[in-house]
Chain A
Amino acid sequence: MELQVLTPFRRLACILLTAALAQSCEERITIDTGTSEPRLVIYGYITTDSLRHAVSITRSSGYFSTTKPEGITGAEVVIRQGEEAYILTESGSEPGLYQTADSVAGEVGKTYTLHVSLDFDGDGQAEEYGAESWLPPVSRLDSMAVRPSALSDHHMEVLIWGRLPEEEENYFNFRLYRNGVLVNDSLRGFRISDDLFLGRKDIEGTPVFYLNQRRESEQLSPGDSLTFQIDGITSEYAGFINNAQSERRGSIPLFGAPPANIETNLRRLTPGSGAGLSGFFTAFSVSRAGMLYPPE
């Protein structure tokens, strides 16, 4: 698990390096990287929220492809917990998206198993795939606040109050909604953290999120409603997201690790084609706090 404490330093080092390399230049180039065999990509999760949960099943495409990945239809998808089984049905509007019934909610401490059956290699025989995840404990989130950041004149910082789970090691993902719309809705905006970064179990006005007021999607206006959400995630999922962020970003020679495919917790359960597997199935807990901007 990458320690969150180091992230600012890595950024600093990159900035310094860039400053030192005033001579460096960028140039778009065309390279032929070939196309790897398509991989089966399964991605989904179940949370403590009572709602319709979803799992997407797609086929990977060439790196320089300009179309969205192709969804895979006709799969049988089930999420199990103990004796309970939630059967996911295929969305009528989005091929490759499989959804539970309404009002399905996960429970903290329980282990959830995803089971997928589909014929990916086209040999007429369905292959079985599976993954499992436990659902980590929930944090207590009492309140939130927003104030101008001391770091920059065009950033607002989001502060939170509450208490982290008592477990020794916890991992979190922070999400911020403005007027019901997720601000950080892509990997670039995901904020993965751990206990160490948050310092202590009691959170008392810790800045956890920054809103760039020069970016339209993050600009605050009077009357905006803000909701801050902490996802209690597993260390494996935290690692998956960290690695996905890192590979999405790319690396530079001095500070980057060699590129590598991101490890998945999905497993092939039956013999079948040698096609690769990517994606992740996880479960996480959710806690929220909200406010109106500006506070009254």
Chain B
Amino acid sequence: MGIGNKQLALYFIFLFTFGFTCCLQGQVKRYTVSGNIRDAGNGEDLIGAEVVIAGTRTGTVSNSYGYYALNLPEGRYRLVFSYIGYKRAEVDVDLSADRKLNAVLTADARELTEVVVSAEGRNANVVRPEMSRERLSAGDIKSIPALMGEVDVIKAIQLLPGVQSASEGSSGFSVRGGGHDQNLILLDEATVYNASHLMGFFSVFNNDAIKDVTLYKGDIPASFGGRLSSLLDIRSKDGNTQRYAAAGGVGLISSRLTLEGPLGDKASAIVSARRTYADMFLAFASEENQRNSTLYFYDMNAKLNVRIDDNNRLFLAGYSGRDRFGTDIAAMGFGNNTVTLRWNHVFSPRLFSNFTLIGSSYDYYLRSEISEQLSQELSSGLEDYGFKADFSYHHGPANSLKFGYNFVYHTFLPGEGGGVGEESVVGRISLPRTFAAENVFYVANESDLYEGRLKLKYGLRFSLFHNIANGRGVDILSDYRVAETWDYARGTVYNGMGRLEPRLGVTYVFNDLHSVKASYSRTVQYIQLASNSSAGSPLDLWFEASPNVKPQLSDQFALGYFRNFAGDAYEVSAEVYYKDMKNVVDFKDHASLLINEHLEQELRFGSGYAYGLELMVRRTRGPLSGWISYTLSRSRRRIDGVNEGLEYRSPYDKPHNVSVVLTQDLSPRVSLSANWVYASGTPVTYPTGRFQIENSYVPVYSSRNEYRYPDYHRLDLSLTWQLSRPGRSFSHELNFSLYNAYGRKNVWTILFRQENDRPDVSYAEKIYLFTFIPSVTWNFRF
């Protein structure tokens, strides 16, 4: 971008000084009103609820823990608490001293019967100094028709503008032309490294355990980073503090159960579990080897929430999930584990803090037991341990400062395996573990100027990444070959790199109905996937930046216009963006990525860019709700040694993308949902010629991604029928869904083959996956 780190630092010093100077002018006695905003029904903290001074634009929103703080001049105020789908609450406050004021909002019975799209305040999309951001609640996600009835967070966000599915049915997704490994997926602040179950057809997130999902496609807060394209921030439920409750469902391929409730006066807990039972049907298979097969996944979420006092809260959250497939002679398994321990501490009404200990791991194994001599196994994975300290300082109603520190220690297990047992004739290989540490400091400020019309958001993130020696030689490459080898004692920090990541956002609010916003964000990615496929697979391997691998870097600029109509019932937005990416990682042709101790020699580097227009119309209330979005985009790459160094379409370059997601209430107890998606065909490399060697034809290919598969489109339908009357303590419903209702045979892949009896004759064969998949799910709650 031509801006040096020094200039950037000076620029941000100016901004911070400017912001604080503005709010320091004309100081009077000021006090802070603070507290938590909760749901009256279950005690859950409400994230992003609004608190404003009646008749003004002065206010704030609750943070991820439901905490808010407003620093105001001494005086009497009427505070209005609001959250979409809930009754507003107005409270008069005499602010002659710091006040603690917890707000409890009651769900609006009228709106409870409707699907509420977008939480937060009614015009939050207009007035909040954030763009390129989408929020979905568990209710939103549940209303969307799902494959085999499995309600899925990832599949829901793939319907948002700027987000594309990596392939049919995949949990991999691309945001604004970025790679599927360029999305930071956090569950209660712990990184989830592989969000896929069953080869990607389902995600690892059980919707019953989820409270809130926020996707940042750009304009990522300075407190987060580490991936180029997006942040998917998923927060799980804290557990009902009011009463014991249960929820669950029985579907075609899985069942799930969630139990939650108070533990004494100050604590609550929630446990949620899900398991598929495809393997149970295998027991009835006619062939013995199928009867002995294993095919299932499970996941469990658990959370303990302890409110020690008004100033201290503890959260202990964990996730564990695993897939297992196996036959008589082979087995495969993979899974994630995460754990977070968080401590919210209010140092003063103005200073809120959160301290987090984080652990996360992902691993897979493969085993074949075809004979004693040829039995083999392979395993790989990674582990993270980290610590975060985040602070929010509410300097005034027009100024809030956030700062913090984040540390992560990565351990990569590139792989070990080979022959099993003494009889095995297959050799063993064990690639050494590698280690790295990430240190991040960030500071960010939000300022409201000109009576809240102009909102500035600016932050600076300083990330440091260090490679730590494992006691083995470190190969230094030149022209992708080993030029020299450095030797370091185990534990020595032998390589370090640091990057400044500025974030900037400007919002101008014309009035409560429309605004214009602009943002710039630089993001840096130090670890990435060694993945040869565009959709991702369980066998993909994470690897780190090093002396041979520079961190990937992205500069994204975005501009948007936001407008609400009909009392905020309709939200309309238009965003344009341009993303410039450097040090983009790709792989040489025919790269060997598994168990390769010379993996870095398989990498190739280059640049990329993406730009696009995202249009969205959303109806947030009423019997018919949902959204229609259109995305026009381009995503290109130029990588040294790939496609002869010429620019090519990235695998995620799909110029036209349409999503229609609608829910119609047919009666108080019956609702009909439909979504229709359309996307330009995935870029693909086709064979354009062939030659013959060794009695076989070998294809000659076009330029990389020169062609496209046929366009993709699909209609899904679902009908939800409430079997119980509203207000009953035991409620249950039936959900019928039909995936791909008009049976479009969308291309999953095209294979090129030769006729068996006429080997000189080649033909193309389309593989398509899902047509007319009906399902029924029974859900209950008491």
Residues of A within 8 A of B (CB): 1-3, 5-6, 8-9, 12-13, 15-17, 19-21, 23-31, 33-36, 38-39, 41, 43, 56, 58, 60-69, 149-151, 185-188, 190, 195-200, 203, 206-207, 239, 242-244, 246-248, 250-263, 276, 278-280
Question: B704 on the interface (CB 8 Å rule)?
Answer: yes
Contact A16 B332 (CB under 8 A): yes
Question: B107 on the interface (CB 8 Å rule)?
Answer: no
Question: B116 on the interface (CB 8 Å rule)?
Answer: no
Q: How far is the CA of A207 from the CA of B425 in the complex (A)?
A: 9
Known: A23-B770, A254-B533, A278-B691. A9 touches B426 (CB 8 A): no
Contact A31 B700 (CB under 8 A): no
Contact A3 B589 (CB under 8 A): no
Question: B330 on the interface (CB 8 Å rule)?
Answer: yes
Most buried by B among A3, A243, A246, A255: A3
Which of B200, B589, B751, B765 is within 8 Å of A261, CB to CB? B589
Contact A2 B592 (CB under 8 A): yes
A-B contact pairs, 20 of them (CB 8 A): A2-B592, A3-B596, A5-B376, A9-B330, A12-B332, A19-B293, A24-B768, A27-B745, A60-B700, A63-B689, A64-B762, A196-B429, A207-B373, A207-B425, A253-B748, A254-B199, A254-B536, A256-B533, A258-B685, A263-B590
Contact B589 A260 (CB under 8 A): yes
Known: A19-B293, A63-B689, A69-B691. A34 touches B696 (CB 8 A): no
Q: How far is the CA of A257 from the CA of B592 in the complex (A)?
A: 9
Which of B376, B535, B751, B765 is within 8 Å of A9, CB to CB? B376
Contact B690 A61 (CB under 8 A): yes
Residues of B within 8 A of A (CB): 167, 170, 198-201, 278, 293, 295, 325, 327, 329-330, 332, 366, 368, 370-371, 373-374, 376, 378, 417-419, 424-427, 429, 532-537, 539, 587, 589-592, 594-596, 651, 685-702, 704-705, 707, 745, 748-753, 760-771, 773
Contact B587 A257 (CB under 8 A): yes
Nearest-CB distance from B574 to chain A (Å)? 33
Contact B692 A23 (CB under 8 A): no
Known: A30-B764, A254-B537. A63 touches B687 (CB 8 A): yes
A residues in contact with B686, CB < 8 Å: 31, 33-34, 63
Q: How far is the CA of A255 from the CA of B749 in the complex (A)?
A: 12
Contact B696 A25 (CB under 8 A): no
Contact A151 B595 (CB under 8 A): no
Nearest-CB distance from B198 to chain A (Å)? 6
Closest residue of A by beta carbon distance from B770: A23
Contact B688 A36 (CB under 8 A): yes
Contact B537 A255 (CB under 8 A): yes
Contact B700 A39 (CB under 8 A): yes
Contact B592 A20 (CB under 8 A): no
Which of B373, B594, B689, B704 is within 8 Å of A6, CB to CB? B594
Nearest-CB distance from A251 to chain B (Å)? 8
Which of B325, B424, B596, B701 is within 8 Å of A199, CB to CB? B424
Which of A63, A254, A260 is within 8 Å of B590, CB to CB? A260
Q: How far is the CA of A276 from the CA of B702 in the complex (A)?
A: 12
Known: A33-B688, A64-B762. A262 touches B332 (CB 8 A): no
Nearest-CB distance from A293 to chain B (Å)? 21
Which of A5, A63, A151, A195 is within 8 Å of B700, CB to CB? A63
Closest residue of A by beta carbon distance from B534: A253
Q: How far is the CA of A15 from the CA of B763 in the complex (A)?
A: 23
Which of B329, B745, B764 is within 8 Å of A25, CB to CB? B745
B residues in contact with A34, CB < 8 Å: 686, 688, 702
Nearest-CB distance from B345 to chain A (Å)? 45
Contact A276 B589 (CB under 8 A): no
B residues in contact with A41, CB < 8 Å: 691-693
Contact A196 B426 (CB under 8 A): yes
Contact B698 A244 (CB under 8 A): yes
Q: How far is the CA of A67 from the CA of B594 in the complex (A)?
A: 38
Nearest-CB distance from A183 to chain B (Å)? 12
Contact B376 A8 (CB under 8 A): yes
Contact B765 A29 (CB under 8 A): yes
A residues in contact with B201, CB < 8 Å: 20
Contact B429 A5 (CB under 8 A): yes
Closest residue of B by beta carbon distance from A36: B688
Closest residue of A by beta carbon distance from B704: A258
Contact A39 B691 (CB under 8 A): yes
Q: How far is the CA of A247 from the CA of B745 in the complex (A)?
A: 25
Nearest-CB distance from A65 to chain B (Å)? 7
Which of A9, A190, A243, A262 is within 8 Å of B694, CB to CB? A190
Contact A13 B332 (CB under 8 A): yes
B residues in contact with A185, CB < 8 Å: 694-695
Q: How far is the CA of A224 from the CA of B748 in the complex (A)?
A: 46
Known: A3-B594, A29-B750. A62 touches B425 (CB 8 A): no
Known: A8-B370, A60-B689. A3 touches B752 (CB 8 A): no
Which of B330, B425, B699, B751 is within 8 Å of A206, CB to CB? B425
Known: A9-B366, A65-B690. A27 touches B768 (CB 8 A): yes
Contact B699 A63 (CB under 8 A): yes
A residues in contact with B694, CB < 8 Å: 185-187, 190
Q: How far is the CA of A197 from the CA of B378 in the complex (A)?
A: 14
Closest residue of A by beta carbon distance from B706: A34
Q: How far is the CA of A15 from the CA of B595 in the complex (A)?
A: 21
A residues in contact with B702, CB < 8 Å: 33-34, 36
Nearest-CB distance from B106 to chain A (Å)? 45
Which of B293, B651, B765 is within 8 Å of A27, CB to CB? B765
A residues in contact with B591, CB < 8 Å: 257
Known: A27-B745, A260-B701. A20 touches B692 (CB 8 A): no
B residues in contact with A6, CB < 8 Å: 378, 594-595
Q: How far is the CA of A149 from the CA of B374 in the complex (A)?
A: 12
Contact B749 A253 (CB under 8 A): yes
Contact A199 B700 (CB under 8 A): no
Q: How far is the CA of A279 from the CA of B700 in the complex (A)?
A: 11
Q: How far is the CA of A244 from the CA of B699 in the complex (A)?
A: 8
Which of B426, B699, B752, B760 is within 8 Å of A5, CB to CB? B426
Q: How far is the CA of A238 from the CA of B766 in the complex (A)?
A: 30
B residues in contact with A278, CB < 8 Å: 691, 698, 700
Contact A66 B376 (CB under 8 A): no
Known: A3-B595, A256-B533. A247 touches B698 (CB 8 A): yes
B residues in contact with A64, CB < 8 Å: 762-763
A residues in contact with B651, CB < 8 Å: 258
Contact B700 A26 (CB under 8 A): no
